[in-house]
Amino acid sequence: MDSRNGSVSETPLDAEIGSFFDSAPPLKDCDGIAKKLKDFIEFNSPPPVPLEQCCVRYIDNFSSGHRGATSTEYFIKAGYAVIFLYRRGTFQPYCRSLPEDSLLECFECSDDSAIQVRQPYTEAVKRAISDHHAAVAGGHLLKIPFTTIFEYLQILRSTAMAMRDLGSHAVYYLAAAVSDFYVPWKSMAEHKIQSASGPLDMRLVQVPKMLSALKKAWAPMAFCISFKLETDSKILLEKAEMALRKYRMHMVVANELSTRKEEVTVVTGNEKILVCCDKTRSDSDVEEPLIELIVGRHSAYVKDSDL
């Protein structure tokens, strides 16, 4: 309290907090979220419920897993068997028509305590269950979860070793957003880093370029497709071409963050093919024509390799 005029004076912490929020990008759908909170709180009051946020830190690259999950469905439809490596908590194949945030929205308990699917979701849930079951039980889909980069790269290597005999019939579709930097396990703090110790100095080491190992040692005959994501359209194609040459990929799928769901450019040794979703259809996605293109190119590659 400022004793001279009775007003509350700003502490350095207040200023720090103020500047954090002032400089943060505006929250999308701020009004919508505020309304949902208000409605929810009104519906539940009293008593008030304290909310506590508990967070363990991590460094992350952006990826929802949507590309991998959707592509998996189209590969299976085209007759491929898919080993789907996914990070826990990301999108899953056959779940596109279900609510993104809470699966529980789909269900309700009837008076006799039976659980049933709520009407608007009946068809979507039925389709998701039967397509998923057919893919898994039919032996077309194997799902392997991971959490850390250590797990992901070890599973990728084991998968490549297991698929070695498939030669040119194997396809690697590497839509994952793999971090370029990591903290080596041995130099990692064992317990949660304490913020009371002040600013954090941490040395990140570059993740070895595993695409090279995949192409040279683990799966030299396989058909390999990697992805390049940029936010600056001016450098996207150039970076994709560099990756194509450097890692000797068969294709690099170049996409921009903001338009990645509508269009991608497939870069090959001598082409740049723009692949778009059908904007006249609300249920259209870019993965359908993308996988069609890849399947065609892969078939040609297998034929050539068998000659």
Contacts with ligand PAZ by CB under 6 A lie at 63-67, 175, 177-178, 227-229, 255, 260
For the bound state, the minimum distance from the C-beta of residue 294 to ligand PAZ, rounded and expressed in Å, comes to 13
For the bound state, the minimum distance from the C-beta of residue 177 to ligand PAZ, rounded and expressed in Å, comes to 4
For the bound state, the minimum distance from the C-beta of residue 239 to ligand PAZ, rounded and expressed in Å, comes to 8
Q: Which CB atom, from 9 or from 259, has the smaller least distance to ligand PAZ?
A: 259
Residue with tokens 């609300």: 282
Q: Which CB atom, from 169 or from 248, has the smaller least distance to ligand PAZ?
A: 248
Query: What secondary structure letter does DSSP report for 187?
Result: G
For the bound state, the minimum distance from the C-beta of residue 98 to ligand PAZ, rounded and expressed in Å, comes to 16
For the bound state, the minimum distance from the C-beta of residue 255 to ligand PAZ, rounded and expressed in Å, comes to 5
Q: How far apart are CA 282 and CA 262, in angstroms?
A: 11
Q: How far apart are CA 63 and CA 71, in angstroms?
A: 14
Q: DSSP 3-state assignment of 104?
A: helix
Q: Which CB atom, from 133 or from 272, has the smaller least distance to ligand PAZ?
A: 272
Q: How far apart are CA 261 and CA 284, in angstroms?
A: 10
The amino acid that residue 226 corresponds to is S
For the bound state, the minimum distance from the C-beta of residue 229 to ligand PAZ, rounded and expressed in Å, comes to 3
For the bound state, the minimum distance from the C-beta of residue 68 to ligand PAZ, rounded and expressed in Å, comes to 6
Residue with tokens 């979220």: 33
CA 284 to chain centre: 19
For the bound state, the minimum distance from the C-beta of residue 5 to ligand PAZ, rounded and expressed in Å, comes to 52
List C-alpha distances in Å: 33 to 39, 40, 75, 200: 10, 10, 37, 32
3-state secondary structure 212-279: HHHHHHHCCCCEEEEEEEECCHHHHHHHHHHHHHHHCCCEEEEEECCCCCCEEEEECCCCEEEEECCC
Q: Which CB atom, from 74 or from 227, has the smaller least distance to ligand PAZ?
A: 227
Q: Which residues contact 34 (CB under 8 A, 6 or more apart)?
A: none
Q: Which CB atom, from 135 or from 286, has the smaller least distance to ligand PAZ?
A: 286
Q: Using CA of residue 99, residue 102, residue 103, residue 108, what is the dihedral sign? A: negative
Residue 259 token pair: 């338009």
Q: Which CB atom, from 121 or from 227, has the smaller least distance to ligand PAZ?
A: 227
Q: Which CB atom, from 260 or from 298, has the smaller least distance to ligand PAZ?
A: 260
Q: Which CB atom, from 160 or from 175, has the smaller least distance to ligand PAZ?
A: 175
